[in-house]
Amino acid sequence: MNKYLLLVFLVFFSIILFATTPSFSLKASGGVYDFIVEENILYAATDAGVVDIFNINKRKRVGEIVIPKIKDFAGDLIYPKIFSIDKLKNNQAIILTVQGDAGYRDIYIYSEKKLTKIFSQKDKLMVKRASFITKDLIMLGLLSNEIILYNFKTKEQIYRKQLSTSVFSDFTNDITRKLTITCEESGKIRLLNSFNGETIKVFSGQNLDNIYKVGYTKLTFIGAGQDRRVSVYKWGKEEYYIKASFLVYCVGIDETGKYGAYAANEDNDIKVFNIETRENLYTLKGQKSTLTKIHFLNNNEIISSGEDEYILFWQLN
């Protein structure tokens, strides 16, 4: 009987230890498609045509960027969805990928409290993500799996490259912005030179289908697979995948490359694991909608967003 009680206690203790609920949340104007964090300020791109600006330390909304309304297919004015947001560290300008007229995308630069439209419906670009490479150069990832490097100050296209015939999913940049990492419908992850678009290396074999999102740091790559696999590649070392119980919509990786996180199941739980040992460390419970981003603030804190208005903060230790 004592052994039985001890076993029950240990199981109960392990559930408490490894199942974590949010420490607090912030409420945005709409569903959060993307966000960025600089110091204690969080910028959240929403489907309500608003970028909400939060002070994390004060846990309050301190500002907003409002995008002009567009016409939908019925001709009615609606607030556009903001699909991606990016900002260089210590640089004021913000770049936004926004729903445009006729199904295309508008690209805005927000600087000095002013919105400037860089690309619009007339350019007929189906952009999925845009980011800064330098303060003057921006990168666009197109659904057609093309990437464009563009100088928005001189209005000069540096290059436009077709990566493959597969549909484009997502890209990210390393901390220096010299490297770009893309993922696509083929299940491949590509490492590119940001300044000339040349492929440095292709990683494949761990995903058999579309990779929704990709994370990268310190020559470690992690992919979120439609095939319910979380792919992990460590350049020159091991590669493997973790099998999830549902489509893996989102992944995250900490700056050291030691820890990874992924959308684990239909309940939108997040699992945090040790990339080296493959050991599951935490299960984060409380996300109410499909995950759109998992961000390691540091080794002990994670921020997540989903297709609802709540941004969740998790304390791991």
Against a cut of 0.85, is the pTM above it? yes
Per-residue pLDDT of the chain (317 residues; tens, 9 = 90+): 454 443 333 333 343 345 589 999 999 999 999 999 999 999 999 999 999 999 999 999 999 999 999 988 888 899 999 999 999 998 999 999 999 987 899 999 999 999 999 999 899 999 999 999 999 999 999 999 999 999 999 999 999 999 999 999 999 999 999 999 999 999 999 999 999 999 999 999 999 999 999 999 999 999 999 999 999 999 999 899 999 999 999 999 999 999 999 999 999 999 999 999 999 999 999 999 999 999 999 989 999 999 999 999 999 97
Give the full edge-to-edge strand order of the sheet including 239-243: 211-217, 220-225, 229-234, 239-243
Distance CA 118, CA 176 (A): 24
- Give domain 170-317's CATH number out of 3.40.309.10, 2.60.40.10, 2.130.10.10, 3.10.20.30: 2.130.10.10
Same topology between domain 24-162 and domain 170-317: yes
User: Rg of the chain over CA atoms, in angstroms?
Assistant: 20
The dihedral sign for the CA sequence 264, 269, 273, 279: negative
SS3 (DSSP) at 167: coil
Give the distance from CA 292 to its chain's centroid. 7
Tokens 């935490």 belong to 282
**Token pair listed for 46:** 């929403």
DSSP 87-127: E-TT---EEEEEE-GGG-EEEEEEETTEEEEEE-GGG---E
Residue ranges covered by each domain of the chain: 24-162, 170-317
Q: Residue 317: what pLDDT?
A: 78
Provide the CATH number for the domain formed by 24-162 in this structure. Answer: 2.130.10.10
Q: How much is the pLDDT for 18?
A: 56
Residue 125 makes CB contacts below 8 A (sequence gap 6+) with 104, 105, 107, 119, 140, 142, 148
Distance of alpha carbon 263 from the chain centroid: 12
Phi then psi dihedrals of residue 123, to 5 deg = -80, -15
Amino acid 19: pLDDT: 59
Q: How far apart are CA 7 and CA 13, in angstroms?
A: 10
Tokens of 98: 């926004």
Q: Cβ distance 286 to 312 under 8 Å?
A: yes
**What's the pLDDT at 135?**
96
